[in-house]
Structure 1
Amino acid sequence: MTWALASSILIGFVFKMLMSPPSAVVAWGLSKFALHPHLDTKDVMITFNGKHLEEEEKDRFTDYFNKSNFLKKHDIFPGNEKLFLHPVTNVTPFVINVKNRKKEINFFVYSSDNHVDVVKQYKEKVFSYSLSSDYLQKFTM
């Protein structure tokens, strides 16, 4: 009798956790699949025109990147990924290389007058999206 009561309580607890997990678990799960992730300055290396940003500039750029607002995702159709990696513009991008544990992700950040375009490359996958950030648009070295 006690075995049945203990097992039903345990099954009830597991069922409750599956149906409404704690917000910390949900936030962690969503962050793993976020298109615009929160970057940690110790894991990133930022270059502009072949030059690495110094610690203070890197911290400032990463902070602006993290505080920027996501606008929209751009659709990339199979076959034209190379256009997004090397667009035909005269704008030199900021290149953010993120290395943590087994992952290596590259971000190409292009500033324009009214928004910031970001191209995210992870393995063979390429994603493109736009951000709104006055500070990134005006960032200078």
Structure 2
Amino acid sequence: MTTWFIIFLIVISTLKVVLASPPTFVMEWLLNKFALHARLSEETTTITLRGKRLEGEEKIQFINQFNEATFFDRYDEYDVPSENTGTPLVIDTKKGKMDVRLSVYIYSNHVDVFKQYNKKAAAYSLRSETLQSTPLAGNGNFIYS
């Protein structure tokens, strides 16, 4: 009986330590699973502007800048800015098995992102010095060249 009690205490103690401080890869997986601003990968992403696809170095450069952008604010359902009248940069990507469409509006002081997936939508704002300083940033139009 004493042996089983000691084994039970060891198992419970180990479980408590693992749950209180999980390994880094477990935390990264959990955070990425529920992140609003997920990272884009070059293989599963297509980027279009006015029907024209970004390819090669332009695509890689934009994806790197987008991934490095800092999440700034999430818009509530009734708080979505109405200034997004320019031409968006449309990003089609996959998150697991789910298709995700991002509409990106770049301005001189922030970047607005509208995310559509599984009949759901979310809107949020990013900060990125490199994206915000692109040509024509400031009026919602975006030409990356």
Structure 1 segment 52-71 matched on structure 2, within 5 A:
52-71=53-72
CA deviations 1:26-53 (Å, max 9, x no partner) are 2220111111112111121111110111
Structure 1 segment 40-51 matched on structure 2, within 5 A:
40-51=41-52
**How far 1:24 sits from its partner (Å)?**
2.5
Structure 1 residues 26 and 35, CA gap change in structure 2 (3 angstroms): same
**How far 1:100 sits from its partner (Å)?**
4.5
How many residues align structurally?
A: 135
Q: What residue in structure 2 maps to residue 132 of structure 1?
A: 127
Structure 2: which 5+ residue stretches go unaligned?
Answer: 136-143
Matched, 1:95 2:96: no
**How far 1:134 sits from its partner (Å)?**
2.7
Judging by fraction of residues, say which structure has more helix. Answer: 1
Q: What residue in structure 2 maps to residue 33 of structure 1?
A: 34
Alignment-mate amino acid for residue 125 of structure 2: S
RMSD of aligned alpha carbons: 2.3
Runs of 4+ in structure 1 displaced over 6 angstroms? none
Q: Distance in 2 between matches of 1:100 and 1:120?
A: 12
Task: Give the structure-2-normalised TM-score.
Answer: 0.81
Q: Distance in 1 between matches of 2:84 and 2:9?
A: 63
Q: What residue in structure 1 maps to residue 75 of structure 2?
A: 74
Q: Distance in 2 between matches of 1:93 and 1:3?
A: 64
Structure 1 residues 55 and 73, CA gap change in structure 2 (3 angstroms): same
Task: Give the structure-1-normalised TM-score.
Answer: 0.83
Alignment-mate amino acid for residue 102 of structure 1: K
